[in-house]
Structure 1
Amino acid sequence: MKKFLVFALIGIILTSCSKNDKIKSEAEDIPVSIEVDRYDKAFFETKPQDLNKLKSKYPFFFPPNVSDTAMVEKMTNPLWRELYKEVEKRYDNFDLEKEGIEDLFKYIKFYYPKTRTPKVVTLIHDMDPQYKAIYADSLVVISLEMYLGKNHKFYEYPEYVKKTFEPSQILPDIVQSFSYGKVKPPMERDFLSQLVYAGKQLYLKDILLPEYSDEDKICYTTDEIKWCEEHDVDVWRFFVEEKLLYSTDSKLIPKFIEPAPFSKFGLTNDNETPGRVGAWIGWQIVRAFMDNNDVPPQQMFLMDAKEIFQKSKYKPTK
């Protein structure tokens, strides 16, 4: 019996590897050429007297409620110019990032052939962690000042936020933004639906960024991944025994799914846990579903959370 199980497992692994190799080969054959427009350079290298020329070329960056005076102030302000200098140090040459974005869109076009090849626009915005990289059909906007590395002197944020400012997070952030148009938001308010929704978004990174580590997909350290792998049984037992799965308490989302310094079980050692353990559990549920069911990911992203959970057969064990 043990030999049979071993051979069956080997067969599953070989089949999975063969399928992944086929996907990789077909995706990489898809032609994608991305145009990058360095608006950050254009803005800070434009002289104030030439502002109107800049406005005519980039009208969408000049809303009516923002005065020319405010724009000139930003152009000439020493702090903004210092920030631009720091961005230039890191991203004067954007070729490597451009290549990564092109590879990403090859996979996007493999799974979603009708997707348009977007234009990429880089800028220096307002250092807002909520708007780091935005996908909008024909456009990808990247705020480069948010990807200077977590230890950069300009970042006065909590550690759990700063770790998302690594250059390696540009592609996962684009996928996260892309997911809002492909992963169906939950219609139900229960915690399980929120877990699975977060898990679907992370699974989209699995298929679109196959070379990325789990650490970079969820923005965890290696120790945080290890913690989740070693404590998944305990976390799952807590969710079940506390009857959280079908709870509609909205406070569970910031406790277990949204970015946070740690997850909030109400225990004395909470600060030893990674934030977002609920998202990680949801990810494992979705992965288990995909392993146990022959369903295209595009279809799974639209499915009901409870059906995914039931058919996933998810149950962590020591």
Structure 2
Amino acid sequence: MRVSILIISVFFLLFSCKDDNKMMDEISKIDINVNIERFDIAFAEATPDDLPQLQNTFPFMFPRQYDDAFWVAKMKDTLQLQLNEETLKKFPVLETETKEIKQLFQALKYNFPTFKTPRVITTTSDVDYRNKVIVTDTIAIVELDTYLGKDHFFYEGLQSYIVANMRSEQIVVDLANAYAKKYVLNTKRKNLLEEMIYFGKLLYVKDKIIPFKTDAEKIGYTPEQLDWVIANQEQMWQYFIDKEVLYSTDSKLPNRFINDAPFSKFYLAEIDNESPGKVGQFVGWQIVTAFMENNDATLADLMNTPAQTIFNKAKYKPRQ
């Protein structure tokens, strides 16, 4: 009996891998051209006389509330000059980033056929780490000074859990997350379960559009943090059940279990110091994955399926 089950499991695994390989081959053939426009370099090299041409080429980079005198002063600003120098030192070229962004756009086009390739613009932002990327229907802006590496002196004074993902490897992950937010229906979330499922949907979309990234990178964990949540998944789920927090509307719960933080707040000394933040996102990811594996649902179906329906049909069982 066990031999039969093993044979069946191997059979399905082989066919699943074959299907995945076929899909990846189809995605790689999608005609997408990515040309990253280096506004950061153009601005760094510009003189006041070049300002009209820059404004004509990149009008969306010059908000109307700032007059020309502001931008001329910025060209000479000491901090801006240092930002220019450090950004160019870290990113003289963007070969790896261009390749990964192309793969992202190809997967977006495959999974969401209405997707149109945007202009990709790089800039600096006075290290605005809360807005590292900005995407619209027509442009994608990457603020390169927020990806200089977790040990860069610009980031001194910032908490370690924030700077941990201020590195080049996370550029395409942050872009993927921004695009996932455009496709996942963002309804008002009334309880912890709905928060978990929403972020689980975002992470599942990232599974589909950046499969070349590790699970740790997708959620913004170190490999050790990912190992911890996998190993403690059953205990975390039992805590949520025992404390009856899944349907709680307590406004403190997202900060405890959903939002980026140095650790999650179970209020258990033996767990809190070891746990990473965002454990609720991770559990939501597993619930959404279980829903997709146990139901005949498409990605489009997932986007509009309510959290409660997903939870009911997921038949989620934490890994032991």
After TM superposition, list the pairs within 5 Å mapping 1:238-253 onto structure 2.
238-253=239-254
| SS at structure 1 position matched to 2:117 | coil
Q: Distance in 2 between matches of 1:5 and 1:195?
A: 34
Q: Distance in 1 between matches of 2:188 and 2:79?
A: 45
The answer for the alignment partner of 1:204 in structure 2 is 205
Of stretches 46-55 and 264-273 in structure 1, the one that deviates more from structure 2 is 46-55
Of stretches 257-266 and 53-62 in structure 1, the one that deviates more from structure 2 is 53-62
How far has the Cα of 1:9 moved from its partner?
2.2
Q: Distance in 2 between matches of 1:57 and 1:105?
A: 23
| SS at structure 2 position matched to 1:181 | helix
| SS at structure 1 position matched to 2:120 | strand
Partner amino acid for 1:74? K
Partner amino acid for 1:64? R
Please point out which of 287, 300, 307 is paired with 1:285: 287
Of stretches 39-48 and 92-101 in structure 1, the one that deviates more from structure 2 is 92-101
Of stretches 273-282 and 53-62 in structure 1, the one that deviates more from structure 2 is 53-62
Contact kept, 8 Å, 1:186 with 1:304, in 2: the verdict is no
Q: Distance in 2 between matches of 1:102 and 1:164?
A: 21
After TM superposition, list the pairs within 5 Å mapping 1:15-26 onto structure 2.
15-26=15-26
The answer for the alignment partner of 1:272 in structure 2 is 274
- Aligned length in residues: 318
Is 1:301 matched with 2:303? yes
Contact kept, 8 Å, 1:186 with 1:194, in 2: the verdict is no
Is 1:44 matched with 2:47? no
The answer for the alignment partner of 1:234 in structure 2 is 235
Is 1:101 matched with 2:104? no
How far has the Cα of 1:114 moved from its partner?
1.7
| SS at structure 2 position matched to 1:88 | helix
After TM superposition, list the pairs within 5 Å mapping 1:25-64 onto structure 2.
25-64=25-64
Contact kept, 8 Å, 1:186 with 1:305, in 2: the verdict is no
How far has the Cα of 1:187 moved from its partner?
4.1
The answer for the alignment partner of 1:173 in structure 2 is 174
The answer for the alignment partner of 1:14 in structure 2 is 14
Q: Distance in 1 between matches of 2:91 and 2:281?
A: 32
Partner amino acid for 2:8? A
Contact kept, 8 Å, 1:38 with 1:121, in 2: the verdict is yes
How far has the Cα of 1:47 moved from its partner?
0.8
How far has the Cα of 1:246 moved from its partner?
0.8
Partner amino acid for 1:265? F
How far has the Cα of 1:33 moved from its partner?
0.3
The answer for the alignment partner of 1:315 in structure 2 is 317
How far has the Cα of 1:188 moved from its partner?
4.3
How far has the Cα of 1:13 moved from its partner?
1.7
TM-score, normalised by the number of residues in structure 2: 0.95
After TM superposition, list the pairs within 5 Å mapping 1:140-179 onto structure 2.
140-156=140-156, 157-179=158-180
Unaligned segments of structure 1, at least 5 residues? none
Contact kept, 8 Å, 2:180 with 2:206, in 1: the verdict is no
Unaligned segments of structure 2, at least 5 residues? none
Change in Cα spacing, 1:56 to 1:188, as seen in structure 2 (3 Å) is: closer
Contact kept, 8 Å, 2:83 with 2:126, in 1: the verdict is no
The answer for the alignment partner of 1:182 in structure 2 is 183
TM-score, normalised by the number of residues in structure 1: 0.96
Contact kept, 8 Å, 1:262 with 1:272, in 2: the verdict is yes
Q: What do the CA deviations read for 1:57-93 (whole angstroms, capped 9, x no partner)?
A: 3222222222323222221112211111111112111
Q: What do the CA deviations read for 1:218-239 (whole angstroms, capped 9, x no partner)?
A: 1111110111011101100010
How far has the Cα of 1:38 moved from its partner?
1.0
Q: Distance in 1 between matches of 2:55 and 2:105?
A: 29
| CA RMSD between the two structures | 1.4
Q: Distance in 2 between matches of 1:37 and 1:67?
A: 23
Q: What do the CA deviations read for 1:287-311 (whole angstroms, capped 9, x no partner)?
A: 1112212211221122111111111
| SS at structure 2 position matched to 1:122 | strand
Partner amino acid for 2:220? C
